[in-house]
């Protein structure tokens, strides 16, 4: 009887041990992830990650655009509820770093022998770095293409523009692309994407014309220099002369625009009933450049599950990982390397602009520049510079007058930059 009782007791103990082991193995970690979608793609990503990692569940926090997303991240962080992983627009990285809202990932990267930043295009890296430290991986990192309506080009008797066209050639194309009826413009050569409250898309024209916004340390305001003023006045003249204006590329009332892949029909779902392609902004006296801009997938400093967060970020954004391939198949951003198989996923012959791959690789190698890193991005680039550019666009003031008027305020802000 004693032996039988011992066996029973032993069996019960083993059963309890197995149950406890099962409870431990069934433990699920919840990781909170915040971004701005599209929700359809994000849902696909979450399902794929949870299938590969059944011990991690993703709690999804969605914002309808970056305008809503960034204030929400600040509010959540202030309440001690920051998501473990969240996206930050590259132009706001300096602000989020200085506010202590994102964690540097250098230690995680150094410990991970399977990962290397050298796997990415060098053009993708400036937006994830600030003052020598890395704060995430490139998210929706891509060039700002010059996109043109190829149907309009051919109808105007023009050949497809060479990717290394210059400003004189652009002017020739622009004159022939404009359409008007009874003195009223019905189609502009280009949208006036270069001037606006965001103060971003005019910079390829500025760089190509030999001008700069600031010096390398972001301490000197350089838009009062002759090269910069010449570019700004030229852009205003293009508007005044009916070359660049308020037309819509989608509606074919403008033949050329500037755009990131997020604006392509494959992402927006809008259909363009015309043939189109992409190129680089035309070359000027200062060279030929476009913007390469990315966002950053970051980890909150107070996240208690940084290893799981790093695993999730790698799943999303390391070349070749499942999430990265899902992004490519949905054309959310172009490949961040030259890998031909990845490009075949993103760029389908016969369906996509024929120049997309070649232009992207050119921009990744030699013809792109990042936007400046500013803690006070909104105050400098929108509230001051953006409003001044709108005034220049309206023709109410010259570039020199507008830039001199904002110069004291911008220089005070730059002096306060860390």
Superfamily of domain 145-292+373-415: Periplasmic binding protein-like II (3.40.190.10)
Q: What is the pLDDT of residue 402?
A: 96
75-87: pLDDT as tens digits: 999 999 999 999 9
Contact 95, 377 (CB under 8 A): yes
DSSP secondary structure string for all residues of 22-66: HHHHT--EEEEEEE---HHHHHHHHHHHHHH-TTEEEEEEE-SSH
> Could you identify the residue written with the tokens 């509820």?
81
Rounded to whole angstroms, the Cα distance separating 249 from 121 reads 29
Q: Cα–chain-centroid distance for residue 354?
A: 22
| 218 pLDDT more than 50 | yes
Contact 317, 323 (CB under 8 A): yes
Both tokens of 39, joined, read 């929700």
Q: What is the pLDDT of residue 195?
A: 54
| Chain region(s) in the chain for CATH 3.40.190.10 | 29-141+293-346, 145-292+373-415
Rounded to whole angstroms, the Cα distance separating 297 from 140 reads 9
Contact 353, 276 (CB under 8 A): yes
Rounded to whole angstroms, what are the CA distances from 94 to 131, 215, 375, 376? 9, 17, 5, 8
Strand positions, DSSP E, 224-267: 244-245, 254-259
Match domain 29-141+293-346 to its CATH number in 3.40.250.10, 3.40.640.10, 3.40.228.10, 3.40.190.10: 3.40.190.10
Percent residues over pLDDT 90 in the chain? 81
Q: Is 302 helix (H, G, I), strand (E, B) or coil?
A: coil
| 230 pLDDT more than 50 | yes
Q: How many CB atoms lie within 10 A of CB 283?
A: 18
CA atoms lying within 13 Å on the CB side of residue 260: 15
> What are the backbone dihedrals phi and psi of residue 133, each rounded to the nearest 5 degrees, phi first?
-120, 155
> Could you identify the residue written with the tokens 């892949």?
261
Position 293 confidence tier, pLDDT thresholds 50, 70, 90: very high
The most confident of the ranges 23-32, 145-154, 188-197, 261-270 is 145-154
Contact 261, 331 (CB under 8 A): yes
Low-confidence winner among 16-20, 192-196, 243-247 (lowest mean pLDDT): 16-20
Question: Nearest-CA neighbor of 62 among 86, 29, 82, 81?
Answer: 86
38 preceded by a cis bond (ω within 30 of 0)? yes
DSSP secondary structure string for all residues of 94-109: HHHHHTT-S---HHHH
100-114: pLDDT as tens digits: 999 999 999 999 999
> What are the backbone dihedrals phi and psi of residue 100, each rounded to the nearest 5 degrees, phi first?
70, 30
Position 196 confidence tier, pLDDT thresholds 50, 70, 90: low
Dmax (CA) of the chain: 110
Report, in angstroms and rounded to the nearest whole number, the Rg of the chain calculated over CA atoms.
26
| 12 pLDDT more than 60 | no
Both tokens of 189, joined, read 């050569």
Position 266 confidence tier, pLDDT thresholds 50, 70, 90: confident
302-331: pLDDT as tens digits: 999 999 999 999 999 999 999 999 999 988
């Amino acid at each position: 009887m004693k032996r039988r009782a011992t066996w029973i007791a032993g069996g019960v103990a083993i059963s309890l041990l197995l149950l406890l082991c099962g409870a431990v193995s069934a433990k699920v970690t919840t990781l909170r992830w915040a971004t701005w979608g599209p929700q359809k793609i994000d849902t696909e990503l979450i399902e794929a990650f949870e299938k590969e990692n059944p011990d991690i569940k993703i709690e999804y926090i969605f914002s309808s655009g970056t305008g809503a997303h960034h204030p929400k991240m600040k509010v959540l962080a202030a309440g001690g509820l920051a998501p473990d992983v969240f996206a930050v627009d590259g132009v706001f990285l300096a602000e989020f770093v200085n506010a202590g809202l994102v964690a540097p990932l250098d230690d995680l990267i150094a410990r991970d022998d399977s990962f290397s930043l050298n796997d990415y295009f060098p053009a993708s890296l400036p937006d994830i770095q600030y003052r020598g430290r890395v704060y995430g991986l490139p998210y929706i990192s891509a060039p700002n293409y010059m996109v043109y309506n190829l149907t309009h080009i051919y109808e105007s008797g023009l050949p497809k523009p060479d990717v290394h066209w210059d400003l004189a050639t652009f002017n020739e194309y622009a004159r022939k692309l404009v359409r008007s009826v009874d003195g009223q413009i019905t189609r502009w050569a280009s949208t006036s994407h270069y001037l606006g409250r965001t103060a971003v898309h005019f910079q390829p024209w500025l760089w190509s014309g030999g001008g700069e916004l600031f010096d390398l340390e972001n301490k000197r305001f350089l838009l009062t220099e002759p090269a910069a003023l010449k570019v700004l006045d030229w852009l205003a003249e293009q508007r005044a002369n009916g070359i660049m204006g308020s037309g819509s590329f989608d509606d074919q009332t403008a033949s050329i625009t500037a755009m990131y892949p997020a604006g392509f029909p494959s992402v927006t779902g809008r259909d363009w009933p015309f043939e189109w392609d992409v190129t680089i902004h035309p070359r000027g006296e200062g060279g030929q450049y476009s913007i390469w801009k990315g966002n950053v997938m970051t980890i909150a400093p107070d996240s208690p599950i940084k290893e799981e967060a790093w695993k999730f970020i790698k799943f999303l954004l390391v070349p070749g990982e499942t999430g990265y391939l899902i992004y490519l198949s949905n054309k959310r951003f172009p490949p961040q390397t030259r890998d031909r198989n990845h490009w075949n996923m993103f760029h389908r012959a016969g369906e996509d602009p024929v120049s997309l791959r070649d232009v992207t690789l050119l921009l990744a190698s030699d013809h792109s520049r990042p936007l400046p890193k500013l803690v006070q991005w909104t105050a400098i680039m929108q509230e001051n510079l953006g409003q001044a550019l709108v005034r220049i666009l309206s023709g109410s003031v010259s570039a020199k007058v507008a830039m001199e008027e904002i110069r004291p305020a911008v220089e005070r802000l730059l002096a306060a930059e860390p």
